[in-house]
Amino acid sequence: MLESLKQQVVTADQVGIIILLVILVVISGVSLYGIFRFFHRSRVIDDTPTSKIRSAHQGFVELEGEGRLMKGTPIVSPLSGRHCLWYRFKIEHRVKEHDIGSSNNHALTNSHWETVNSGVSDNLFLLSDETGICVVDPEGAVITPSFSKTWYGSRSFNASDIASADAALSLARLTGNNNYRYTEKRIDVGEALYILGRFKTIGGRREKLDKKGEVRDLLAKWKNRPDFLLAGFDDNGDGEIDMGEWQKVVAKAEQYVEKSFGERLVQPEIHTVSQPIDSRRPFIISVESQEAIAGKYRWYSRGSIIGFFFGGISFVWVIGVRFMS
């Protein structure tokens, strides 16, 4: 087999060899990135201690608890109609392409799947442990769901005439019509969750207050509203805000922020967890245990090592066979 590959490399055209070398370089580069990325994630998971919601520090934390719905309108998965904490769905249609065979003029049929509808939930839900409740914003998270299923049917999904995924699959098998493919992933209510992300408390005395930052942000908003500034602070009516008038604008912004701080300090604490500001820190929501997730990333890292050496060794071998033999 090796001799056959060697002969193909020797006889291949120059463009084909260049494309092959580029592919091998890409494999090695992506694998090298994967080695560090997946190993880093496994170390972060192993090294971050699990916190309780009531005593968690502000910043990057690891939490474990039970997933619950917030009060109000529930989160409902569009395909199964189930109440859940999070969902992702996709509906695809089989598109058939007809070609004329060159040898016997018979029509050959190829097909591929085109997405006709898809969506992902970004609704907030709750994480609860024995010490408190935390609001979870799943946007941007790497999510491991508790339910994942793909099935087929005869038309674009309609919950009114397809009761469940199993019923749709049975119908497709019975009629032989499977031109639509449905995929649903979700986290069910009441699942035990592992979350790694940015913990922040809003309201109460644990909230970190940045007076300078909030004054700066408020002034930036006011600058985008010149009519507001002129109406409230243009004392001499010249249509401009001079240095003396700007000092009054700054003082007013500081008063607004100080008043806001006072109101927030007496409000009840609301704990939240969301995507970290630092992109190097992962945001993970999973129904798997901490040990399972860390182990999975270690295996990904080992697989990336294999890919890196495969790409590198193959690159050197192709160079040697084609240009140095």
What's this model's pTM, rounded to 2 decimal places? Answer: 0.70
Strands, E assignment, the chain: 50-51, 59-68, 84-100, 107-120, 125-129, 132-136, 142-144, 147-153, 180-188, 192-202, 270-274, 284-286
Give the mean model confidence (pLDDT) for residues 277-300.
93
Task: Decide the pairing of beta strands 270-274 and 132-136.
Answer: parallel
**The token pair that represents 224 in the structure block:** 């985008």
Helix (H), strand (E), coil (C) string for 34-69: HHHHHHHHHHHHHHCCEECCCCCCCEEEEEEEEEEC
Specify the range with the lowest mean pLDDT, choosing from 10-19, 110-119, 207-216, 307-316. Answer: 207-216
**What's residue 162's pLDDT?**
42
pLDDT in tens, 103-128: 555 555 678 899 988 999 999 999 99
Give the mean model confidence (pLDDT) for residues 169-185.
68
Q: 153 and 75 in contact (C-beta within 8 Å)?
A: no
